[in-house]
Structure 1
Amino acid sequence: MDEFAQIFAQFQDHLAPRLDMYEQAIYLYIFRHTLVDGKTDVVIGFKSARKKLAFGVGKAGTAPSEHSIYEKLRSLEAKGCIKILGSEHSGTRLKVILPSEMPNLLPVVQSISLANLDELDFFSVPENRKLILEREKWECFYCLTKLDENNHVIEHVVSRPEGSNSYRNVVAACRRCNNRKGATAADDFMRALYREGILSGEEFPVRLSLIPRLIGGELKPVLG
């Protein structure tokens, strides 16, 4: 995503819901005439510029009044969206504040270390169970059966109490494999699936190779 696309997405997703229609139109107009043009600030005379903002925002078919514009400028400044730098003969000097520069606007993306990831419970916590399903691309870890909300379980590769609820030890499986595997070692269970023709000659070595990768922590779920 390029810079302007990211800024617009942040505006639409996080800033716009906090602004009324006047404020949105004015903010985007200032953004257009500053950062899009490579400027840090701009002087805008709203006596004429107001007609370029948004006809029909106020009374149907008319532009917002100058009084309304200046009220909304003060409101935008109070919300931390712009800075009013002063008045000049040709208009008001303004600086736009990007969504990423506004305190507490964008959600904080926490960086979770490998050590912290290992401490998360991917068996008992519903949100984390969903991440295991997504890691497996909604396929049974053992036999590759397509999974949905009703035909899957999250199960331990090494059964409790020896096995943990770490992402290294839980997988998404179909109910048939979950019932059949029981306490059988995962590699032995996959060999049985191969002997029965449930896994093909191409699928079997690939599935078998995932077990040490899982235990070694290579198959990390993607955290939102």
Structure 2
Amino acid sequence: MNFNSAYAIRQFPTIFKYAGMTFKIAVVSMLCTLALSLVITLVRYYRIRGWCTVVDVYVDLFRDTPLLVQLFFIYYGLPQIFPVFVKLSGYTAAVIGLTLNAASYMTEDMRGALESVPQGQIDGGLSVGMTDLQVMRHIILPQAAKVALPVLGNEFVSLVKNSSMAFTLGVREIMAEASLLGTSSSRYMETYMDAFIIYFILCKLISLAQRRLERRLNRQRGGV
């Protein structure tokens, strides 16, 4: 069967309509990942007894198992163990799975960003009467955020791409719509090509926005 460019062009807007769901999954997962990563990073940074062991086990589990297996375990496995998860939607399961997976990687990058702040600045804050929390809020986090920015942008791109696995949980997003249209028409090449192009456009726009923000921050830093 020859590639039908007219069919691919005709179905492109139909598939592109679901870019909003893909973006929604990525944005919500990113916000949750930031929050969870920060908590984990602070636990490790301050070496909170007891919780460090829990965090290490969690990181090892989610780093050393495939994302797809994690999604299936959360959506299909948890309801069999804990009845409270029976009503868990595919969308919610996808966000939880993507968040837990991404946070297990991002926490190392965030810890590196925190440790990049010179110890002299931290000591200086403590010497003028600031508490550990105030030093973290006013000295460490603002500087660490600038260091971590490239990593955060890359992680967001990864979440956009990994959100394509949400269709395995019944979530109607780009990949799901491309698969459904391909199945109904037997034009898999055309619909998957559309999905390929849409994901490329989304990730490229995010990367360009990230670089622009980095340049702006660098100019502001250089002007200080």
TM-score range, shorter chain: under 0.3
Which has the larger strand fraction?
A: 1
* TM-score of the aligned structures, taking structure 1 as reference length: 0.23
**Structure of higher RCO (CA pairs closer than 8 Å, 6+ residues apart):** 2
* TM-score of the aligned structures, taking structure 2 as reference length: 0.23
